[in-house]
Amino acid sequence: MKSLEKIDFPNKQIFLILGLALACVFYTLIYIDRLNTNTDLTASRKYAQNQLIEVESLLSVYIDRNLATLSDLASATTGVTDSLALDADRLNSAILQSNPHFLSISMIEDNGNERKWARDATSPNSETPTSETPTSESGAPAIVTAPETPGVRILPNGKLQLDAISPANAAHHRTIVRAILDGSTFVANALKHRTDLQSHASPPLDILVGTRLANDADGTTLPLWGPAELADDVVESRNIPLANGSLHLIARPKGGWSGAGPDTDAFRLTLVAVGLALATIFSSIALLLVERNRNRQNLKLTQERHRILAKRFELAMNSSNIGIWELDDGDNTIRHDSRATQLHGLSAVHANTHDLNSWLTAVHPNDRSKVEQHLLRCRESDKAVVEEYRIVLQDGSKRHIRSVGAYSNQTGNEQTSPGRVTGILLDITSDVVMQDDLRAAKEGADIKNAELELALDDLSAREQQLEELSERFELALDSFTCGVWQHDFSTMRTVWDERMYQLYNVQPNGPYVTETEWLQSVHPQDVPEILEAARAATEEGTRIDGTHRVLLKGGTIRYVRSIGQLRVDRSGGRKLSGVSFDVTADVLLTEELRNAKAEAEARNIELELTKNRIEYNALHDPLTGLANRRKFDRELDALTALAKVGRPRFTILHLDLDRFKEINDTLGHAAGDAMLVNAAEVLNRHVNHTDLVARIGGDEFVVLLRDVVDEQTAADLASRIIKEMNIPYDFEGFTCRFGVSIGIAASKAAKADARKILIDADLALYEAKRKGRNRYEFFTESLQANIVTSRRVADELLTALERDEITAFYQPQFCANTMQLIGAEALVRWQHPERGLLPTISFLKVAEDLSIMAQIDKIVLDCSLRDRMRWTASGIIVPKISVNVSSKRLHDTNLVESLKGLSITPGSIAFELVESIFLDDNDETITSNIKTIKELGIDVEIDDFGTGHTSMISLLKIKPKRLKIDRQLVMPIIESDRERALVKSIIEIARSLGVGTIAEGVETQAHADILRDLGCDLLQGYAFAPALSSDDFAAFALSQSKRHAS
């Protein structure tokens, strides 16, 4: 362990080892997970094979049991006479009633006689079964070719044929008993008692039972029972041989062959937990090693600093010639360094230690007692004790020493551990000599100062004379361009020079001027200011410096500036002296400059106001007074910049007015503007002044809430805004009602981009509109994912239109009474290059948002016309094709013109119009288009009838050809009497109006029977066929025509 402590691992090496360890853990866990996945996959395949074996066994047993039933029937009815025919009928009827999968039973003899019992004859409304005997045109019984061996054969349309043969003898001919079975019902009955071997460790399975014909080179599996999508899955399958093919059994887990078992998630969570634990342990070890390296580095730095400080201390002591000494308790030996030895004048032999007596021999005799007291005080005090004394050197010279010492005991216990006195010695000889010199210099300076005082008295008198001469000299200089004046407070007389009389336009009247003469020449408004200045100078000693106006002849004004100061002479007399000079030109120039400055400032203020007004208009909406998009963008940029150095908290509400366009279109732009102003006032009432409200579009507003990220606060504000926006607003007698949809997004991450938050709020607004408007929604990550998915689907859908990936599939429609094919409904499908064939529901909403439904409708119509022409050319007659038409297509003013350019045979095309979109709508374009469509020979059918709010008046007005009863009403009619009665009422109403009826969603034969009994005209649903491609529909229609022809 100690050897490990000496090893120094660099931080880079530590993190490299940590990365390698974590990588090993990661790849080990992945390898274990793959082993577990392969084990689960093997178990799933084994479980699927066991299930297929069980299904194979059940089907084989069931086939044998049905063949045995037919064999027993053949044995029981062979050679039956006419008198026993009734018993044969009852026996066959019983077999048909007890075996739902039997569609019919036929008995065929070699002589051509055949009797047939069909399931329709065994219904509860029929008391006795009916039999049919096929005959030829001549009346003789038809000869039927029978198989040579019994067994099971595959028939088209999901049916099976069972043949049992009774051998011929002398009494009767050979008899073949043939049963036609419904393949789906047969398999369901065979497997209904299948035991479920599934355990907790086994995934649920999907099982498909289909048929394969022996002469089918492609090996196509036709589904009989189970999910059809398993037909192409060949991982686990089994075959039951039949006469002309085989039953193909396929099994697959519901989640596919992914290899994930029921405990896979728990196992992976365990692996993740183990990986996190190991990563935590390795990371902790790495962090401890990094911390150890940091502590080692800090220790090295500390030791280096101590070494440098010790070196600096040694240099300082040497350069300052300071010695160190120590004296322990109970010991008279003084220890000292070489510098202290040198300072004390001791020999080098006795360096380092001296006893107290030898130490004192070097001290001046007059100072030895002082040194002893100094050492004693040092022992008694823990504070520094200072003392100065003299040392007598060997040459007889004296050295002045300053000693500083203090007592210390590191243990704090004087009884167990003695303390010591530590001190320093400094040579202060030069300081003492300097002090002596300064003292002597001070004594000489005092003598010289006394001599100087005598000289100063003489100079004082001369100074007074010089001051008077200097004052007169200055006045003389000033009088060259200025008037000089002086007022003597001792005589109370004022003296002016000649220039003063000229300045004030006063005639001289003696050597003095009176105050009255002076003030008469001054403008009356300036007199109080002059007197106040004179008073302040006299009483407070302030300086006079002011400008006043002098009145001249002719009303001319002269501006005079006076400067004066109160002076006291050596005798104590006070005199107020000063000068006055003409400043008229300066005042006028100053006035001009002041006026120019005022004018410039006024212009600057006007320019500033104009600038502020322009800037305000550039940043605010002129209609509502709110901030505009430019100001809002500035706020967003400021928040983004602030997020780079801090973490600002803010929330954005993106608002869009509902029904604004309708109000603006119906009542005019003035009403729209009033709605916008009202919305702005509502927002200003509910938003704090520290927040920002902006109008960024026609009817779009945003609210920027600063320092708010709490969802509840934002939700409360949005609720209050929505509530007040819903209050009706009166505009010129019209009551206007509108709402508001709000999207909310908040900054929650560091360095958030404010513009990204606005985009998030816009996505939330889109979601609020999608969910019904007049509400608010918060931005979430799942919402963003949904929007991204929708936009990706939108882009792919637009590309699909360019690449002709949109096509039509056709679901057959049958006559309820004759079961003949009388038409089809064209359904739009998207042949996606990656996801395969997509139904309408997977892209309908996106297509509506992109407003391309009209374009899709046109594509389906073109496909229908093109495919119908191909079918007709192949001899396949499809009387009618129904095509769905969207609201956008119906509102198209160019719809009629585009239809006129098509070759449409009257009655061959029907437009299915969704009931909830256009009925009871007074739109003139819709009404005109429907009328013209009918004139072009195109039938009108009402789709999804029964789910909207169509009135009888609307039906009379539109006069549709047929009503299509919605599948939501058709599906429950087997169990629900109420839905059955409702469907019957719709059929009777349509019949009374002369309108045909189509039932969609017919899933079983039982649905078809009930609807036929209720009087429905046409049937459509999976009971007959799903939606088929053009080629598959052609094959289906051809097989139907052959079946009816036979």
**Tokens representing 848?**
């509506």
For the chain, the domains span 61-190, 321-409+419-427, 479-582, 623-779, 793-1045
Report the CATH fold assignment for 479-582.
Beta-Lactamase (3.30.450)
Q: Any idea which fold 61-190 has?
A: Beta-Lactamase (3.30.450)
Closest-CA residue to 652 (of 739, 749, 740, 762): 762
Contacts 24+ apart (CB under 8 A), 73-81: 73/105, 73/164, 73/177, 74/107, 74/164, 74/165, 74/166, 74/175, 74/176, 74/177, 75/166, 77/107, 77/175, 77/177, 78/166, 78/172, 78/175, 79/171, 79/172
CA–CA separation, 1007 and 987 (whole Å): 15
If you average pLDDT over every residue of the chain, what do you get? 82
Q: Does the structure show a pLDDT above 90 at 70? A: no
Average pLDDT over residues 546-552: 89
Burial of 915 (0-12, 13-18, 19+ CB in 10 A): buried
For the domain spanning 793-1045, the CATH number is 3.20.20.450
Domain 321-409+419-427 fold is Beta-Lactamase (3.30.450)
Question: Quick one: pLDDT at residue 415?
Answer: 55
Query: Which tokens in the block code for residue 17?
Result: 């080892």
Helices assigned H by DSSP within 620-667: 629-643, 660-667
Share of the chain above pLDDT 90, in %: 20
Task: State residue 86's pLDDT score.
Answer: 62
Whether the Cβ atoms of residue 374 and residue 356 lie closer than 8 Å to each other: no
CA distances 914 to 797, 885, 909, 910, Å, are 23, 8, 16, 13
Angle 853-873/1030-1045 helices, nearest 10 degrees?
A: 40
Measured CA to CA, the distance from residue 188 to residue 158 in angstroms comes to 13
User: Which CATH code of 3.30.70.270, 3.20.20.450, 3.30.70.20, 3.40.1160.10 fits the domain covering 623-779?
Assistant: 3.30.70.270
DSSP state of 84: G
Bridge partners, residue 996, by sequence: 962
Domains 321-409+419-427 and 479-582 share a fold: yes
Which range is least confidently modeled, 320-329, 716-725, 969-978?
320-329
Read off φ and ψ for residue 66, nearest 5 degrees: -70, -40
Q: Which of the two residues, 232 and 170, has the higher pLDDT score?
A: 232
Closest CA to 651 of 639, 638, 637: 639
Which residues, 6 or more positions from 83, have their beta carbon under 8 angstroms from its beta carbon? none
Q: First and final CA of the chain: distance in angstroms?
A: 98
Residue with tokens 């085989």: 246
The answer on pLDDT for 405 being more than 70 is yes
In this predicted structure, the answer to whether residue 17 has a pLDDT above a threshold of 80 is yes
Q: Is the dihedral of CA 586, 589, 593, 599 positive or negative?
A: positive
Phi, psi of 576 (to 5 degrees): -105, 110
Identify any residues that bridge with 102 across adjacent strands, giving them in sequence order. Answer: 181
- 352 confidence band (pLDDT: 50, 70, 90): low
Of the pLDDT bands very low, low, confident and very high (cuts 50, 70, 90), residue 364 is confident
Number of helices (H) and strands (E), helices first, in the chain?
A: 30, 36
Residue 655's DSSP bridge partners are: 701, 742
**Mean pLDDT (whole number) for 690-713:** 88
> What's the pTM value of the predicted model, to 2 decimals?
0.40
Q: Which DSSP symbol is given to 690?
A: T
d(CA 571, CA 912): 128
Joined tokens for residue 1034: 């052609």
Q: What is the mean pLDDT of residues 368-379?
A: 82
377/955: higher pLDDT: 377
Q: What is the pLDDT of residue 146?
A: 46
- Token readout for 1036 is 């289906």
**Is beta strand 237-241 parallel, antiparallel or unpaired with respect to 333-336?**
unpaired
Choose between 254 and 912: higher pLDDT: 912
Strand partners of residue 999: 965, 1019
Q: In what order do the strands lie in the sheet with 114-118?
A: 114-118, 102-109, 175-182, 159-166, 151-155
**pLDDT band at residue 349, thresholds of 50, 70 and 90?**
very low
**Backbone φ and ψ of 628, nearest 5°:** -100, -175
